[in-house]
């Protein structure tokens, strides 16, 4: 007798487990310095790991980012960006708690406007990775995020100001919100005629490339505005094949990909490292945008590079690379009408 049912071989009957969702990778991040250093075969004592610094701003680093660190190298440039160390607890004059004047530039809950035409939404306080040099280490996220009340205050403030033509999703990391939550915002913004561009500032395609999943790509695909997607990578070693694939998916949506980096002592403050970062970014479809002098907040002084050295490095990049591979060297200061070129 012939039946219509296909013969099931034992192999075909095995249902493969679904790939873990990005939230699972997020949850599996390393939060214990001892565990991080054990994975890298390093000694916590030797590195000056600080419990106090850890209490002030917890360690958080996704496992795939750890996998890009070199083993047994205490000066690995990726490790330096995430490890809480004693130097953070030094109180250094000139380094404050609100170095960039976010407090004064608040327009509504979670909406910051400093520059003409551009409103920045602090969409959330969460990040997949905690970068030790981050100025937001002292920011009141819990109170100041625009996603509260279904984005109501933020959307009302933007709707009321026709001079705003670009919305910047920032944070924290805006892609730490679910895609459904992001879609809730863009659906509300789509009703505001004066918005012309959407910009997304996110480190997630670099530190947790699994976040760029099919759902995110579909959301980006159907947005009614041109999109600028600004990633954040400080060193060529942060790129790998998974990051390349995530960036290729983003590019496939038509988004313009840009990179902002922070100039950091002991991480990327040499000409070879900066040139390699620009070249590696471009190979992944990303143009260099800004190279930031760090914001002078308490706890980050040991990362600071002098302006003299920063401008010399920048001149070196200009002498070495194609013009479009040279980022703008800038600093952010309260009261300025734009980032200030050095
Ligand atoms: C950096 C920043 C921007 C963006 O500035 P661009 O020069 O356009 O990249 C916008 N708003 C705020 C509050 C910022 O800090
Ligand atoms: S990802 Fe960005 S916002 Fe988050 S800790 Fe790092 S630098 Fe700060």
Residue 291 burial (C-beta neighbours within 10 Å; 0-12, 13-18, 19+)? buried
Q: How far is the CA of 4 from the centre of ligand 2 (A)?
A: 57
Instruction: Please name the CATH architecture into which domain 103-341 falls.
Output: Alpha-Beta Barrel (3.20)
Ligand 1 contact, 114 CB (< 6 A): yes
- Look up tokens 């109501």; give the residue: 152
DSSP 129: S
Span 281-324, pLDDT tens digits: 999 999 999 999 999 999 999 999 999 999 999 999 999 999 99
What is the mean pLDDT of the segment spanning 35-48?
A: 94
* Cα first-last separation, the chain: 83
- Look up tokens 């914001």; give the residue: 295
Pairing assessment for the beta strands 111-115 and 106-108 based on DSSP bridges? antiparallel
Binding residues for [4Fe-4S] cluster: 127, 131, 134
**What is the pTM assigned to this prediction?**
0.93
Ligand 1 contact, 338 CB (< 6 A): yes
Span 54-109, pLDDT tens digits: 999 999 999 999 999 999 999 999 999 999 999 999 999 999 876 666 667 788 88
pLDDT of residue 23: 96
pLDDT of residue 304: 98
Q: How far is the CA of 172 from the centre of ligand 2 (A)?
A: 6
Q: How far is the CA of 52 from the centre of ligand 2 (A)?
A: 20
Largest Cα–Cα separation, the chain:
89
- Look up tokens 């954040």; give the residue: 232
Ligand 1 contact, 199 CB (< 6 A): no
What does the angle CA 90 – CA 78 – CA 28 come to, to the nearest 5 degrees?
Answer: 100
Residue 324 structure tokens: 């479009």
Whether 1 has a pLDDT exceeding 50, the answer reads no
Q: How far is the CA of 114 from the centre of ligand 1 (A)?
A: 7
CA 161 – CA 184 distance, rounded (Å): 20
Ligand 1 contact, 112 CB (< 6 A): yes
- Look up tokens 């099931």; give the residue: 8
Specify the residue with its C-alpha closest to ligand 2, atom 8.
Answer: 134
Where are the strands (E) in the chain, listed by range? 106-108, 111-115, 118-122, 166-170, 197-201, 227-231, 256-263, 287-293, 328-331, 340-341
Are the CB atoms for 260 and 200 separated by under 8 Å?
Answer: no
Q: 316, 319, 230: which is closest to 269 by C-alpha?
A: 316
Q: Where are the domains of the chain?
A: 23-89, 103-341
Q: Taking the CA atoms of the chain, what radius of gyration do you get in angstroms?
A: 21
Please choose from 120, 164, 202 the residue to mutate so as to test ligand 1's pocket, defined by most ligand atoms within 8 A of CB: 120
Ligand 1 contact, 164 CB (< 6 A): no
Residue 203 CA, closest ligand 2 atom number = 1
Span 126-148, pLDDT tens digits: 999 999 999 877 765 556 788 88
Residue 147 structure tokens: 């996603």
């Amino acid at each position: 007798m012939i039946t219509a049912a296909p013969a099931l071989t034992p192999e075909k009957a095995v249902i493969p487990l679904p790939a873990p969702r990005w939230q699972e990778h997020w949850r599996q991040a390393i939060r214990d310095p001892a565990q991080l250093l054990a994975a890298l075969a390093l000694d916590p004592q030797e590195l000056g790991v600080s419990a106090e610094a850890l209490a002030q701003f917890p360690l958080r680093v996704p496992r795939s980012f750890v996998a890009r660190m070199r083993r047994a190298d205490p000066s690995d440039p990726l490790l330096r960006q995430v490890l809480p160390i004693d130097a953070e607890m030094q109180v250094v004059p000139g380094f404050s708690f609100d170095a960039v004047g976010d407090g004064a530039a608040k327009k509504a809950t979670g909406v910051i406007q400093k520059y003409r035409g551009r409103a920045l939404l602090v969409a959330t306080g969460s990040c997949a990775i905690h970068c030790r040099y981050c100025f937001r280490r002292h920011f009141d996220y819990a109170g100041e995020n625009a996603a509260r009340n279904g984005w109501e205050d933020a959307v009302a403030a933007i709707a009321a100001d026709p001079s705003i033509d670009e919305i910047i999703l920032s944070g924290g990391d805006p892609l730490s919100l679910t895609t459904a939550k992001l879609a809730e915002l863009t659906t509300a913004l789509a009703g505001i005629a004066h918005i012309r561009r959407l910009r997304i500032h996110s480190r997630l395609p670099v530190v947790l490339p699994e976040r760029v999943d099919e759902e995110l790509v579909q959301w980006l695909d159907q947005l009614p505005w041109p999109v600028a997607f600004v990633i954040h990578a400080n060193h060529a070693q942060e790129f790998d094949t998974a990051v390349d694939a995530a960036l290729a998916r983003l590019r496939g949506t038509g988004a313009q990909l840009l990179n902002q980096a922070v100039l950091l002592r002991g991480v990327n403050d040499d000409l070879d490292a900066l040139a390699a970062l620009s070249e590696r970014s471009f190979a992944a479809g990303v143009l260099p945008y800004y190279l930031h002098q760090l914001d002078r907040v308490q706890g980050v002084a040991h990362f600071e590079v002098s302006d003299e050295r920063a401008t010399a490095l920048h001149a070196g990049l200009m002498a070495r690379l194609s013009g479009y591979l040279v980022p703008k060297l800038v600093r952010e200061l309260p009261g300025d009408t734009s980032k200030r070129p050095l």
